Amino acid sequence: MIDQRMEKALNRQLNAELYSAYLYLSMAAHFQSVNLAGFANWMRVQAKEELMHAMKFYDYVNERGGRVTLQAVDKPPSRWDSPLAVFENVYQHEQKVTSLINELVDLAVEAKDHATNNFLQWFVSEQVEEEASADEVVQKLKLVGDDPSGLFMIDRELAQRGSTASAAPTEGGAE
């Protein structure tokens, strides 16, 4: 049975992951509306990954005999001034998610919940990748500045991103 504080915290994280999916889907819609289909693809793939993360929390809470309690998902923004502004928002958001995961790890250690600590280690590693991926696009966008041809090259590159959800462990964080 899972500790009640841990269960509550994991449910909050499940909500945060659903918000992330919602945010990235909103960003995809924004990019579609300005004819940047490659950027929209990147965001749609990211939204799917975040849904997969949410389901990992959902499954884990259930596996541990806890109860999943779904909460309302906040409305994300729907407009940004530029592709750079969007990806700076992505990078900041991923840094926030990293801090949330770190807080969960701290709670698991404090509660001596070794199973949850083990489960969370996959997310610790995943957040390193998430931040690096977002920052890579931020740096490329800064390099191209206002050059439309550079923006379209990045758009073409981002169109190639496929789903990586199958690379993730499926149950309880085991690989």
Domain ranges, ordered by start, for the chain? 4-165
| DSSP E strand boundaries for 31-153 | none
Element (H, E) at 59: helix 37-63
CATH of domain 4-165: 1.20.1260.10
Instruction: State the pTM of this model.
Output: 0.90
Torsion region of 112: left, alpha or beta (phi above 0 gives left; psi -120 to 50 gives alpha): left
Which pLDDT score is estimated for 53? 98
Which pLDDT score is estimated for 63? 97
The answer for residues whose C-beta is within 8 angstroms of residue 29's C-beta and 6 or more apart is: 40, 78
On whether the CB atoms of residues 10 and 100 are closer than 8 A, the answer is no
Helix/strand/coil for 160: coil
Blockwise average pLDDT, block size 10, the chain, 175 residues: 95 98 98 97 98 98 97 97 98 98 98 97 97 98 95 96 56 41
Which pLDDT score is estimated for 169? 43
* Tokens 């049975």 sit on residue: 1
